[in-house]
């Protein structure tokens, strides 16, 4: 029960919900998330750590960059919540704006890796 409570607590912050919406796009690095959310690296990294510890995201290190993606749900409740979020978050105004910003950023991004070390 405690693990479920921690998993659900991670969804109590609007920024973390916004992150989950962006990760529906696929694997993203912190600089991609910073651009989509229009937030500084420290804030994005803090939320990513919280989501990772709660089992919502997983990370993959590629060289010096860390890429994040949605984790496979650990239990039926988490699986159902993720399904609902995938269907409803894209309809929210702020999530639409974030996603449009992310797509615009990804179109202009010149490499697969993040641009500078201070973004990680």
Q: Where are the domains of the chain?
A: 2-107
Please give the structure tokens belonging to residue 41: 């690296």
In words, the CATH class of domain 2-107 is mainly alpha
pLDDT in tens, 51-104: 999 999 999 998 888 899 999 998 899 999 999 999 999 999 999 999 999 999
Mean pLDDT of the chain: 91
Nearest to 120 by CA among 18, 48, 36: 48
């Amino acid at each position: 029960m405690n693990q479920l409570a921690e998993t659900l607590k991670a969804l109590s912050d609007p920024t973390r919900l916004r992150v989950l919406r962006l990760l529906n796009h696929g694997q993203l690095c912190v600089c991609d998330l910073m651009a989509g959310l229009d937030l500084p690296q420290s804030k994005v990294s803090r939320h990513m750590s919280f989501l990772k510890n709660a089992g919502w995201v997983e990370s993959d290190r590629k060289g010096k960059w860390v890429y994040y993606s949605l984790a496979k749900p650990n239990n039926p409740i988490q699986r159902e919540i993720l399904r609902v979020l995938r269907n409803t978050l894209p309809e929210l105004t702020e999530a639409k704006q974030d996603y449009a910003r992310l797509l615009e950023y990804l179109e202009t991004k010149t490499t697969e890796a993040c641009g500078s070390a201070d973004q990680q």
